[in-house]
Structure 1
Amino acid sequence: MAYRRLLGYVRPYWFVFLLSVLGYAIYAASSTAFAHVMKLLVDSIQEGMDEKRLFFPLLVVGIFALRGLGTFMGTYFMAHVARQLVHFMRLDLFKRFLVLPARFYDQNSSGHLVSRLTFNVEQVTGAATNAITVVVREGLFVIGLMGYLLWVNWKLALVFVAVAPLIGIVVRFASQRFRKISRRIQNSMGDVTHVASEAISGYRVVRSFGGTDFEYQRFLDASEYNRRQAMKMALTKAINTPVVQLLVAGALGVLVWLALSPDLMGEMTPGEFIAFLTAASLMAKPLRQLTEINNTVQRGLAAAQDVFQYIDLPAEPDLGQQQLGRAQGELEFRDVSFRYGADQPLALKSVSLHAKPGEMIALVGRSGSGKSTLASLIPRFYEIEQGQILLDGIPTQELTLSSLRAQIALVNQQVTLFNASLAENIAYGIAHPDPAKIRAAAEAAYVSEFADQLPQGLETLVGDNGVLLSGGQRQRIAIARAIMKDAPILILDEATSALDTESERYIQRALEHVMQGRTTFVIAHRLSTIEKADRILVVAEGQIVEAGTHAELLALKGHYAQLHQMQFHEPITAQS
Structure 2
Amino acid sequence: MSNLNHRIAMPTPGRPGGFGGGGPGRGAVPIIRAKHRGATIRRIWGYLNRQRAGLVTVYVFTILNALVSLIGPYMLGKAIDTAIIPGDYSLLIRFCLLILGIYLLGSAVAWIQAYVMTAVSQNTVNELRCDLFAKYHQLPIQFFDTHSNGELMSRATNDIDNVANTLNQSVTQLLNSIIMISGSLVIMMVLNIPLTLVAMLIIPLALISSRKIAGLSRNYFKKQQQHLGELNGLVEETVSGLKVVKQYRREEAEVQRFRKISGELNRAGIRAQIVSGLVGPAMNMINNLDFALIAGVGGWMAYHSLGTVGVIVSFLNYSKQFGRPISELANQYNLIQSAIAGAERVFEVMDMISEYSHEVKEELPRLGGEVAFRDVSFSYLSDRPILTGVTFTAKPGEKIALVGPTGAGKTTIINLLTRFYEVQEGSLLLDGRDIRELDKNALRRQLGIVLQDAHIFSGTIRDNIRFGRLDASNQEVEDAAKLANADGFIARLPHGYETQLSAEGSNLSHGQRQLLTIARAILADPAILILDEATSSVDTRTEMHIQKAMSLLMKGRTSFVIAHRLKTIRDADRILVIQEGRIVEQGDHEQLLALQGVYNELYNSQFKRAEL
TM-score scaled by length of structure 1 = 0.95
What one-letter code is carried by the residue in structure 1 that aligns with 2:441?
A: S
Query: Which of 51-60 and 108-117 deviates more?
Result: 51-60
Q: Tell me if 1:482 matches 2:482.
A: no
Query: Which of 265-274 and 536-545 deviates more?
Result: 265-274
Query: Which of 352-361 and 314-323 deviates more?
Result: 314-323
The 5-angstrom pairing of residues 436-455 of structure 1 reads: 436-455=475-494
Q: 2:312 aligns with which of 254, 257, 273?
A: 273
Q: Tell me if 1:422 matches 2:461.
A: yes
Q: Please name the residue that 2:98 is paired with.
A: 59
Q: Tell me if 1:122 matches 2:142.
A: no
Q: Please name the residue that 2:235 is paired with.
A: 196
Q: 1:330 aligns with which of 370, 374, 383?
A: 370
The 5-angstrom pairing of residues 228-243 of structure 1 reads: 228-243=267-282
The Cα offsets for residues 134-176 of structure 1, whole Å up to 9 and x where unpaired, read as: 2223442233322222221121011121221011111111212
What one-letter code is carried by the residue in structure 2 that aligns with 1:451?
A: I
Q: 2:381 aligns with which of 334, 341, 362?
A: 341
Cα distance in 2, alignment partners of residues 260 and 321 from structure 1: 77
Structure 1 residue 461: Cα displacement: 1.9
Cα distance in 2, alignment partners of residues 142 and 204 from structure 1: 60
Q: Tell me if 1:563 matches 2:602.
A: yes
Q: 1:8 aligns with which of 28, 32, 46?
A: 46
Cα distance in 2, alignment partners of residues 544 and 389 from structure 1: 15
Query: Gaps spanning 5+ residues in structure 1: where?
Result: none
What one-letter code is carried by the residue in structure 2 that aligns with 1:116?
A: R
Q: Please name the residue that 1:503 is paired with.
A: 542
SS of residue matched to 2:373? strand
Q: Please name the residue that 1:32 is paired with.
A: 70
The Cα offsets for residues 515-552 of structure 1, whole Å up to 9 and x where unpaired, read as: 11111111111122221111111111111111111111
Query: Gaps spanning 5+ residues in structure 2: where?
Result: 1-38
SS of residue matched to 2:390? strand
Structure 1 residue 447: Cα displacement: 1.6
Q: Tell me if 1:159 matches 2:198.
A: yes
Contact (CA 8 Å) 2:415, 2:421: kept in 1 or not?
yes
Cα distance in 1, alignment partners of residues 68 and 468 from structure 2: 56
Query: Residues 332 and 265 (structure 1 numbering): CA distance in 2 closer, same or farther, change over 3 Å?
Result: farther
Q: Please name the residue that 2:184 is paired with.
A: 145
What one-letter code is carried by the residue in structure 2 that aligns with 1:27?
A: N
SS of residue matched to 1:108? coil
Structure 1 residue 48: Cα displacement: 3.2
SS of residue matched to 2:469? coil
The Cα offsets for residues 34-73 of structure 1, whole Å up to 9 and x where unpaired, read as: 1112112112122333442552233123212321232123
Q: Tell me if 1:529 matches 2:580.
A: no
Q: RMSD of aligned C-alpha atoms?
A: 1.9
The Cα offsets for residues 264-307 of structure 1, whole Å up to 9 and x where unpaired, read as: 97652221122112222344543321210111111111111121
Query: Which of 332-341 and 58-67 deviates more?
Result: 58-67
Query: Residues 341 and 266 (structure 1 numbering): CA distance in 2 closer, same or farther, change over 3 Å?
Result: farther
Structure 1 residue 249: Cα displacement: 0.9
What one-letter code is carried by the residue in structure 1 that aligns with 2:43?
A: R
Contact (CA 8 Å) 2:575, 2:587: kept in 1 or not?
yes
The Cα offsets for residues 465-505 of structure 1, whole Å up to 9 and x where unpaired, read as: 11222211111111111111111110001011122101111
Query: Residues 571 and 454 (structure 1 numbering): CA distance in 2 closer, same or farther, change over 3 Å?
Result: closer
Cα distance in 2, alignment partners of residues 172 and 421 from structure 1: 55
Task: State the identity as a percent.
Answer: 34
Structure 1 residue 429: Cα displacement: 4.9
The 5-angstrom pairing of residues 189-228 of structure 1 reads: 189-228=228-267
Q: 2:400 aligns with which of 358, 361, 367?
A: 361
Cα distance in 2, alignment partners of residues 528 and 129 from structure 1: 62
Q: Please name the residue that 2:143 is paired with.
A: 104
Cα distance in 2, alignment partners of residues 54 and 112 from structure 1: 62
Q: Please name the residue that 1:457 is paired with.
A: 496
Query: Which of 61-70 and 330-339 deviates more?
Result: 61-70
Cα distance in 1, alignment partners of residues 301 and 287 from structure 2: 23
Cα distance in 2, alignment partners of residues 269 and 37 from structure 1: 14
Q: Please name the residue that 1:23 is paired with.
A: 61
What one-letter code is carried by the residue in structure 2 that aligns with 1:335?
A: D
Structure 1 residue 373: Cα displacement: 0.9
Contact (CA 8 Å) 1:17, 1:81: kept in 2 or not?
yes
What one-letter code is carried by the residue in structure 1 that aligns with 2:502?
A: G
